[in-house]
Structure 1
Amino acid sequence: MTDDTAGADGMSGRRSLRPLAGVLAAMAVSLTGTRVSAVALPWFVLVTTGSATQTGLVAFFEMAPYVVVKALAGPLVDRAGPRTVSWTTDLASAAAAAAVPLCHALHLLSFPLLLALVAVIGAARGPGDLAKEVMVPEAAERGGVPLERATGLSGVTERLASTLGPAAGGALVALLGPLAGLVVNAASFALGSVIIALALPRRRTAKPAEGATPQAGEAEEGYWKRFAEGFTFLRTEPLLLTVIVMVSITNLLDAAFMTVLMPVWAKESGNGPTAIGLAGTTMGAAAVAGSLIAAVAGHRLRRRVVFFAGFLLAGAPRFLVLALDAPMGAVLAVFAVSGFGAGFLNPVIGAVLLERVPRRMLGRVNALGDSLAWAGIPLGGLIAGAAIASAGLVPVLLVCGTTYFLTTTLAGLRREWREMDRPGARGALKQDREDSPARHGADLTT
């Protein structure tokens, strides 16, 4: 496939860190804005409506389009190129995010209009996030950066955003109100779009691999054939499917925690939005440390051990410490431990995915995998809001924490996990890069 990161450096064979630096900078900016909004938007809905159910509904209307559009965008990213998709969708997200405070200031923001605007934000964010993920391995290859290190740096970027975003969001909400956080979110999307458009080289026609089908012939495959090819490949990968199912459950629980459980806990405990930002910042800072270790030494660690240990620390303890009504110092300590464990997860998952998926299919397979893993996220806020309304906060926290623990421990009994440490995957990927794209089909295994 052709790639928007193919520019002068790539065509001349010289290594350059510029594409990777540009992708990581754009990710940092847009993700920081998203994390600010993750504090500001639920708090805005909660204080203006007083309803945990409506807060969960807003989260659903943002994340459901995110998941659906991201799943369908894979062939588009493979065909049009991730650079173009990234900067255009970031601009669309910026416009929709800016419309929320603008309409509120003009007294035009009804609840249905708010739902429509957050749906547009989610629908644009999905392809934008996917495009940036797809650009990471190609940019790393152009800079001669090892895959584990590149995914580790991507993880560090995400964790830094998770550190700065909640802190900024909590401070903005406390000082200026939640709408200030939404303005920052819009500005972050706009800046991310500019970075991708200017820092990454423009698209050039890449030389087809030896024996590959010409680009025009590839276009004749059509959208749905490309989509089905990615789905068929994913079905041949039991390890990837098991990871996706497990992560989809934990993502649902994490979404319930961040969009409803944490805001309701902050309001009922009297700690306010500042506590949300402080807890998120503490967890994010610890996650940065974990991600840095993964970036530097991840290729020397046993992935399976790191993966399950990370989930053990990152999951259930957060729910339980809030349910126990522990003092703020204890909450921050638990969030720090959870963040450190979480910092190792995405680098491991990213490296396994990028090793096992053919490069030309990376967009569509990554889109399908991410969307399936995120399928429960839109339901997290809805379920949590309805459960709190009927049972109260503490029982819901206990049930969610227990479910998280059982999911991340019982899943480890499946035999597919042994393939996570299998070194042959790297050799398979290397061979894949040397082969024709026509070689890959439903029967391809690594």
Structure 2
Amino acid sequence: MALSLTGTRISLVALPWFVLVTTGSATRTGLVVFCEMAPYVLVKAFTGPVVDRAGPRVVSWSTDLTSATAAALIPLLHVLHLLTFPLLLALVAVIGAARGPGDLAKEVMVPEAADRGAVPLERATGVAGVVERLASTIGPAAGGALVALVGPLTGLVVNAVCLVSGSVVVGLVLPHGMGRAAKEAAPGPDGAAEPGYWKRFGEGFTFLRGEPLLLTVIVMVAITNLLDAAIGSVLLPVWARESGNGPAAMGLMSSVMGAAAVAGSLIAATFAHRLRRRTVVLVGFLLAGAPRFLILAADVPLGAVLGVFVVSGFGAGFINPVLGAVLFERVPRRMLGRVNALGDSLAWAGTPLGGLLAGAAVAAAGLVPTLLTCGILYFLTTNLAGLRREWREMDRARHAAAGTEAGEPVT
């Protein structure tokens, strides 16, 4: 996870900057992000049954190799003067389509790792969150430095190397027998065959539809992910260019936020299983969301911006460990792939539009009005969702799970 996520975070700085400086267009930058994230969401939604049946291990290493190949072709074709904008969009789409199943496969192996390590789910998801936040710290810093010193194409090459390395670790280094296909329920007395793809998919859809808490969280996260994509892929690069701070500031801001998120995730990994989940999530979103947009809209020194990003990162570090534990507790282990796939895809459904809409909004209304609007939307979304009745079940689910076996559904 550390290797593949670090490479991806480097690419998040290098690729938008490459498009922005070569085309000068915020709209085209948003279009590139859309062409990566739309296949990511769409393919991920339909690969859950495949992950459950083939096993997350084989899906993880094979898709990482596919992403690495497409990422390496971008700088190669550019050097050979063969990289047209449509071809760039196609390669980015391949990267996104392969990343979706790869990320899903790694997520599905987290509860198995928790079982092997005999640790609470909050701690396991917290450790996974620490890894993600470390990648969000190291990746943008490395990406910003690479872009500033040797150009954005080097960042894409490093991304490919990281993906290949991660594929080797998953394929060859994980414990023997880890990441195998999920076991389905035993066939009935009529000797019915193992369920096919569409039956598996339908089971995941039916299960998710009957979980109001998960659905509410997914809708809220879908909106916040859209806004996060807007700031990360378009608004922040445009701000860096217009303010004169450049790509190095982009990397620094993302890195200090990631470092603070690492601290938050470490605390969550240690203490989250003792805290009230609903309160932790709501406060985390309050710190992580609107302040970032509002500070960028204000004409303040870079030091003040960095301070706000530190606070936002600390709050963000608490969110995923709690939400991940809630998901893993409520979903049967044999259905983790298909339910995670649907849930993640719905949660990421707005992400492809984030950069696209942000680019269009900046072109039409300017940077500051767009930042203010996004900040207000973030605040309203997270607070209104947290008031819903089903959110009280977050803490009930933890207490109920204490009396159930790992991976069994909680009612």
Query: Quick one: which amino acid aligns to residue 246 of structure 2?
Result: G
SS in 1 for 2:97: helix
Encode CA deviations 1:324-353: one digit per residue, 9 max, x unaligned.
021100000000000000000000110000
CA distances 1:18-76 after superposition (whole Å, capped 9, x unpaired): xxxxxxxxx00100010000000000000000000000000000000000000001000
Q: Percent identity?
A: 75
State which drifts further: 35-44 or 198-207: 198-207
My pick for the range that moved more, 194-203 or 86-95, is 194-203
Where 2:109 maps in the other structure, the secondary structure is: helix
User: Is 1:47 aligned to 2:30, yes or no?
Assistant: no
Show the counterpart of 1:18: none
Match of 1:381 among 355, 363, 381: 355
* Corresponding residue number in structure 1 for 2:312: 338
Aligned counterparts, 1:159-170, within 5 A: 159-170=133-144
Query: CA–CA distance in 1 between the matches of 2:77 and 2:6?
Result: 23
Give runs of aligned pairs for residues 65-104 of structure 1, distance below 5 A. 65-104=39-78
3-state DSSP of counterpart to 1:109: coil
Cα distance, 1:428 vs structure 2: 6.4
Across the aligned residues of Structure 1 and Structure 2, the Cα RMSD in angstroms comes to 1.9
Q: Which residue identity lines up with residue 279 of structure 1 in the other structure?
A: M
Among 134, 142, 147, the residue aligned to 1:173: 147
Cα 1:175/1:209, change in 2 over 3 Å: closer
Question: Could you say which residue in structure 2 is the equivalent of 1:116?
Answer: 90
Q: TM-score, normalised to structure 1's length?
A: 0.89
How many Å apart are 1:424 and its aligned residue? 3.9
Tell me the residue number matched to 2:322. 348
**Which aligned segments of 4 or more residues in structure 1 are displaced greater than 6 angstroms?**
204-211
Q: Is the 8 A contact 2:34 2:352 kept in 1?
A: yes
- Aligned partner of 2:302 in structure 1 is 328
Change (3 A) 1:297 1:107: same
Structure 1 position 426 matched with structure 2 position 404: no
- The equivalent of 1:260 in structure 2 is 234
Q: Give the letter for the 2:154 counterpart.
A: A
CA distance in 1, matches of 2:308, 2:212: 33
Paired amino acid for 1:361: M
Aligned length: 408
Aligned residue runs from structure 1 range 7-18, under 5 A: none
Deviations 1:302-328 (A, max 9, x none): 100000000000000000000002110
Q: Cα distance, 1:404 vs. partner? A: 0.3
For the Cα contact (< 8 Å) 1:237–1:445, is it kept in 2?
no
* Deviates most, 218-227 or 308-317: 218-227
What SS does structure 2 have at the residue aligned with 1:430? Answer: coil
Aligned to 2:200, which of 226, 249, 266? 226
Aligned to 1:17: none
Counting only pairs closer than 5 Å after superposition, residues 347-426 of structure 1 correspond to structure 2 as 347-422=321-396, 423-426=398-401
| Distance in structure 1 (CA, Å) of the matches to 2:376 and 2:180 | 50
Structure 1 residues 352 and 104, CA gap change in structure 2 (3 angstroms): same
> 87, 94, 111: which one pairs with 1:137?
111
1:437 is matched with none
Deviation at 1:211, TM superposition (A): 7.3
Q: How many angstroms apart in 1 are the aligned matches of 2:225 and 2:178?
A: 37
Structure 1 residue 123: Cα displacement:
0.2
2:267 counterpart (289, 293, 305): 293
**Where does the alignment leave 5 or more consecutive residues of structure 1 unmatched?**
1-26, 434-443
Q: CA deviation at 1:202?
A: 4.9
- Deviation, 1:148, is 1.1
Q: Counterpart amino acid of 1:369?
A: G
Q: Which residue of 2 aligns with 1:37?
A: 11
Please give the alpha-carbon distance, in whole angstroms, between the structure 1 residues aligned to 2:250 and 2:180: 47
Q: Give the whole-Å Cα distance in 2 for the aligned partners of 1:388 and 1:176.
A: 29
Q: What residue in structure 2 maps to residue 4 of structure 1? A: none
What amino acid maps onto 1:377 in structure 2?
T
Alpha-carbon displacement from aligned partner over 1:209-234 (angstroms, at most 9, x marks no partner): 897339xx786311011001000000
Change (3 A) 1:246 1:151: same
1:361, 1:424 → 2: CA distance? 22
Q: TM-score, normalised by structure 2?
A: 0.96
Is residue 313–residue 337 contact of structure 1 (8 Å, CA) maintained in 2? yes
Query: What is the SS of the residue equivalent to 1:410?
Result: helix
CA contact (8 A) 1:63 1:377 kept: yes
One of 153, 163, 184 as aligned partner of 2:158: 184
Q: 1:60 aligned to 2:34?
A: yes
Aligned to 2:128: 154
C-alpha spacing 1:81/1:207, structure 2 compared with 1 (3 Å)? closer
What do residues 188-246 of structure 1 show as CA deviations (whole Å, max 9, x unaligned)? 100000000111245589899897339xx786311011001000000110000000000
Instruction: Give the distance between the partners of 2:181 and 2:152, measured in 1 at CA.
Output: 49
1:49 and 1:154 map into 2 onto residues whose CA distance is 37
Partner of 1:283: 257
The equivalent of 1:303 in structure 2 is 277
